[in-house]
Amino acid sequence: MKKNDNAKVNNTRRTILKGTLWGSLAIASGVSLWQLSLTESVEVLESDDYPYRFLNLDERLLLWAIIPAYLYPAVQPGDEKSKFVVLRNIDGAISGLPQSTQDELRQLFSLLSFQLSKALVAGIWTRWNKASINSLQYFLSSWQESYLALLRTGYLGLHQIIIGSYYGEPMSWESIGYPGPPQFNLPESFYEDF
Amino acid sequence: MKISNAIDAAELQQESLSADVVIIGSGAGGGVSAEIFAAAGFQVLLIEEGPLKTARDFKMREKDAYPQLYQESAGRKTIDKAINILQGRSVGGSTTVNWTTSFRTPEQTLLHWKNNFGIEANNQKSLTPWFETMEQRLNIEPWQVPANANNQTIANGAEELGWSYSTIARNVKGCANLGYCGLGCPINAKQSMLTTTIPAALEAGARLVYKARVERIDYKQNKVTGCQLVAMDDFGQPMQNSRIRVLAPLVILSAGAIGSPAVLLRSQVPDPHKLIGKRTFLHPTVISAAIMPKAVNGYAGAPQSIYSDHFLWPDNDEMGFKIEAAPLHPLLTSTVLTNFGQQHFDLMQQFPHIQGSIALLRDGFDERSVGGEVMLDDYGYPKLNYELNDYFWRSARKALLTMAEMQFAAGAEQVLPLHLYSQPYNDWQQAKSAIEQLPMESLKALVFSAHVMGGCAMGSDEKRSVVDETGRFHQLKGLYIFDGSIFPTSIGANPQLSIYALVARLASQLAATSRIS
């Protein structure tokens, strides 16, 4: 192995061991500006007593806004039922991931929150609850097309958990022409023979 | 299955267990080893990190199957997140969820091992009877039913272009052609370890402890003494106050190409040449989606029945690739189509018309292809670092071009190579010039893997290998590694039958020469 390669491996190892894929960009932002403007969603989410294992209220607010940005027009911004299903699926999916991946997702949510706050300050939209799907989708494009691998990783990571959490559900299947898995009821004796 | 011999680690009343042989991992390597040692009269203890799920539990729902049956909910990734790895994690390992595709190890691969790694004893001649044995044991034979439309597209395109293609052999018995192999076979037709070797081993007296992770292998001086387990909860997280000690003079490590190096690294076994976890291979895979004029219904029918090896062994020294089909179920399909909003929904509405072709690149056969490295994170959990270099990207681009040409030749209306910046192209010329321009870089072009190999390479030279040709770990007595991690390169074909046959040979040898204590 060349010297150069060795340095690269060591460098990578240092990065992993510190476990901060998103850490460098995700400056702890405290209470985000954009969250303060979320009055209506806060009420809906605060009165939700589902026992989330991973997602805290801040993260749920964040996802509440970003879910329809990924999924519109399959999911309408006002479609609370679908958004709750997706939110709970996301929570369940993350709960089964290894601890270091969970840590990274926390950092990703923090980065997302921070970047959205910046967009709010920059005047891309004036109040969060007025943020149109268009503005949010413009924001997603900026991550998707970023020259920074970090932001593309964030885009793809959110894409996988949000979009997967919707299309795993029967409620999404009719619109895409998927009939669902075949149905059959095998007698208990079938399994006992095995 | 003799369920009384299987127990959830969290419900174990004892703090210690003992056995003649402990087998770590219940996939292709562990399953085959368990049957052979149990039949030879050894007291076998088989350990599995994932849960015990059987046909009764397999409801063909992606949402339930991925978290239950796959590593990291089917979202396992390399450190830089550039490669998504599908790997099983339940009793039966990846054999419970694989697509049943069965190939013997290509002769070229075995010759490459002989010429480059000094592997003499495991050759075409010595392995042939073991391929036959395992083909019989698992009912492996070429698929007789007509290919589904998803696979037929590959045959049609290859036929049109004059490329070679053939029918895939599958390990099934009484298969109903449902198409849900990847979510666990609901009718026990798949001849996985879950339905064959493991029930046979339990019947012969072996014990199975599931939802148990092996934290470390114990050893004293230079001899193994057993291992330590921690029970896993329903979310696959370790329960720290539930440690179990296993005493066994013989340890067989079959945790797969990511798991086996991880166990060795956690155990801090001697590794004088720093080889453990190095040269891990994936068959990095790129995908091309096509929109076909007639419905394909890629979720129905045997997931893989046609392949083309036309580009697998090129005359130059570029990385060759194998072409196969990928079954399409809505959750996984939706996540690999990487756009969002209206564009994503437009594609999803064409779901029944989507055909999925994949190209599996044969990594590890050239000095420019060194594979990845398994490391441990702060929690002692394995992470794979795998750098995709220009040597890989050149062939990846060629593979995307090849599949697009094939799909258009088969009548595709549009072809979409999976890439962050691609779009559906309307004809071969348009696709060709676009694919030639696409930036082939990590996290732009999408890369997947369903095969993990290497990381504990076998070989004749102790300075270049982790185990010898019998699977014996060079540095400790009583430790053998029987799984895909001992391959010194990737296989160049779906690896399950390569693991079955090699492990059947090595485990039979070891069982015949070991004494029951």
Q: What is the predicted pLDDT for the residue at A130?
A: 54
Average pLDDT, chain B: 97
> Per the structure, how many domains does chain A have?
2
Residue A14 lies in a domain: yes
Question: Cβ contact (<8 Å) for B377 and A100?
Answer: yes
Q: Are A57 and A25 in the same domain?
A: no
Which uninterrupted H or E stretch holds B237? Answer: none
| The pLDDT of residue B239 | 94
Question: Do A12 and A70 share a domain, yes or no?
Answer: no
Q: Within this chain, do residues A20 and A55 fall inside the same structural domain, yes or no?
A: no
Q: Which is more confidently placed, A26 or B136?
A: B136
Both A36 and A84 in a single domain?
no
Nearest residue in A to B89, CA atom: A96
Give the distance from residue B54's alpha carbon to the nearest chain A alpha carbon, in angstroms: 9
Is there a single domain that holds both residue A70 and residue A133?
yes
State how far residue A147 is from chain B, nearest Cα, in angstroms: 10
Distance between CA atoms of residues B48 and B412, nearest Å: 44
A108 domain residue, yes or no: yes
Give pLDDT, residue A135: 81
> Are A16 and A77 in a shared domain?
no
Residue A87 shares a structural domain with residue A173: yes
- Average per-residue pLDDT in chain A? 79
Distance CA B487, CA B65 (A): 29
- Tell me the angle at which helices A99-121 and A133-144 cross, rounded to the nearest 10 degrees: 120
Do A40 and A59 belong together in one domain?
Answer: no
Q: Does residue A189 belong to any structural domain of this protein?
A: no
Q: How far is B120 from chain A (nearest CA, A)?
A: 26
Contact B94, B87 (CB under 8 A): yes
* pLDDT at A124 (0 to 100): 54
In a domain, A162, yes or no: yes
Does A115 lie in the same domain as A79?
yes
pLDDT interval class at B180 (50, 70, 90): very high
Chain A touched by B137 (CB under 8 Å): no
How does pLDDT run across B472-511, given as a tens digit for each residue?
999 999 999 999 999 999 999 999 999 999 999 999 999 9
**pLDDT confidence of residue A134:** 83
Whether the per-residue pLDDT at A12 is higher than 80: the answer is no
Cis-peptide into A73, omega within 30 deg: yes
Q: Are residues A79 and A124 in the same domain?
A: yes
Q: Judge whether residue A26 has pLDDT over 60.
A: no
- From chain B, the residues in CB contact with A153 under 8 A are 80-81, 443
Cβ–Cβ < 8 Å for B61, A173? no
Mutant choice from B275, B331, B384 vs A, greatest count of A C-beta within 10 A: B331
The amino acid present at B212, given as its one-letter code, is A
Q: Which residues of A touch B351 (CB under 8 A)?
A: 176-178
Q: Give the chain B residue whose CA is nearest to the CA of A72.
A: B341
Q: Is residue A157 part of a domain?
A: yes
pLDDT in tens, A138-185: 889 999 999 999 999 999 999 999 999 999 999 999 999 999 999 888
Are residues A66 and A115 located together in one domain of the fold?
yes
pLDDT in tens, B55-79: 999 999 999 999 999 999 999 999 9
Q: Is A187 among the domain residues? A: no
Q: Do A153 and B443 touch (CB under 8 A)?
A: yes
CB pairs under 8 A between A and B: 145
Report yes or no on A29 lying in a domain.
yes
| CA of A87 vs chain B CAs: smallest distance (Å) | 14
What is the DSSP secondary structure assignment for residue B418, as one 8-state letter?
Answer: S
Q: Cα(B301)–Cα(B312) distance, rounded to whole angstroms?
A: 26
Closest CA to B32 of B405, B513, B507: B507
pLDDT category, B126, cuts 50, 70, 90?
very high
pLDDT in tens, B235-244: 999 998 889 9
* pTM (predicted TM-score): 0.94
Comparison of pLDDT for A4 and B150, the residue scoring more? B150
pLDDT in tens, A30-58: 344 455 455 567 788 889 999 999 999 98
Nearest neighbour of A12 by CB, restricted to B59, B378, B385: B385
CA–CA gap between residue B512 and residue B382 (Å, rounded): 34
Q: Which helix (H) or strand (E) is B454 found in, with range? A: strand B453-454
* A-proximal residues of B, 326-365, CB under 8 Å: 330-335, 338-342, 344-345, 348-349, 351-352
Name the residue among A166, A167, A156, A150 with its Cα closest to residue B421: A156
Residue A88: which pLDDT band, with cuts at 50, 70 and 90?
Answer: very high
A183 in a structural domain: no
Min Cα distance B385 → chain A (Å) is 8
Residue B394 pLDDT: 98
Would you say residue B204 has pLDDT above 70?
yes
B443 has a chain A CB within 8 A of its CB = yes
Q: Which residues of B touch A181 (CB under 8 A)?
A: 59-61, 180
Q: How far is CA A148 from CA A68, A143, B478, in A?
A: 24, 8, 48
Q: Are residues A98 and A173 in the same domain?
A: yes
What domain range is A73 assigned to?
51-178
